[in-house]
Homo-oligomer: A and B are copies of this chain.
Amino acid sequence: MKIEEIRMEELHSGKFIEQQVHDISSVVGSGIAINALSGGVDSSAVTMLGYKALGERLKTYFIENGLMRHDEPQEIVSLFEGLGVPVEMIDAQKQFFDALKGVTDPEEKREAITRTFYRDVFARLVRESGARYLLQGTNYTDVEETVAGIKRQHNILSQLGIDTEKSYGYTVIEPLIQLRKTAIREVAKALGLPEEIYRRPPFPGPALAARIIGEVTRERVGIVRSATKIVEEALSNTRAFQYLAILHEDRVTGVRKGQRDYGFQIEIRCWDSKDAITGAPTKLPYDVLDTLAERITAEVPGVVSVTYNITHKPPSTIEAI
């Protein structure tokens, strides 16, 4: 069945929400549904739709993978609590870092994270919850990219280790599959989610692991997390499309208290873009760049050097890996 996009000009958020809530209720009936919340706009909107439809029969989990930004897990869980939506946090940090140990190839890192998430952590939660309905935040761009071969098809059931025969009895529900990001932001707003969610800049699936060149360890995530916090604080009031800090594997020479200090380098990217398809580095004033470099080298242990990416996309990409 061909999936039809609902364009922004056709979207009526109120009606869309009503329809989806109705559909979810009809499909799940008196059953139990489960979903994973990351705090991104897609999974947040799905959580709200599911909760409106099912109330406590929706089991929402936030999986703490150790790769999120400063205080992010606590903040997201609290935010939903404030909206009356219960979310259970699952500490799976050890499992993720064990899976990432020694892995340096970007594709293998991504694979290790996906596998740990679905097969090791979420599969157990699905089994234990007894849920037969899985709510997923798949959107129209995901569908297009899968068709175009840019994204690999992610069949959630096979990723959970539920093979085709056993999959009989499981139902995947994808309420956002007809919408692109802008429409989802609109719906998220109408669902009563706060601006920090519906305006949230894009953040990659592998979280801070996508911002680390080379091995992902607790220590290295700590470095890029501190740098990310500083970059987000300094640049959140720009109108930039996205801004990020990347920890390099290359070491460079620095000097501390007159002594040679072979340390780390952080790369900052800040993008002007409408659609993420093309982009230009934001023309940040030099006093902003100065403050960024000063704070990062002063506050993040081991960092002696900070660069600003000046390449357009293409030939660059938004993220480094």
Contact A310 B307 (CB under 8 A): yes
Determine if A294 is an interface residue (Cβ-Cβ < 8 Å). yes
Is B317's CB under 8 angstroms from A255's CB? yes
Q: Complex Cα distance A283/B314, Å?
A: 25
Q: How many copies does the complex hold?
A: 2
What bracket does the count of chain A residues touching chain B fall in?
35 or more
**Is A312's beta carbon under 8 Å from chain B?**
yes
> Is the CB of A27 closer than 8 A to any CB of chain B?
no
A67: B residues at CB distance < 8 A: none
| Residue in B253, B256, B267, B294 whose beta carbon sits within 8 Å of that of A320 in the complex | B253
Query: Known contacts A250-B213, A267-B307, A310-B293: does B315 contact A255 (CB below 8 Å)?
Result: yes
List the B side residues contacting A98 at CB < 8 Å. none
Chain B residues near A309 (CB-CB < 8 A): 305-307
Of B249, B254, B281, B319, the residue contacting A250 (CB under 8 A) is B249
Task: For the complex formed, measure the closest distance between the CB of A136 and the CB atoms of chain B, giving whole angstroms.
Answer: 25
Task: Select A248's contact among B250, B254, B292, B312, beta carbons within 8 Å.
Answer: B250
Q: How far is it, in angstroms, between the C-alpha of A263 and the C-alpha of B314 when the chains are bound?
A: 13
Binding site for B on A (CB under 8 A): 106, 213-214, 248-256, 261-263, 267-268, 281, 283, 286, 289-290, 292-294, 297, 304-317, 319-321
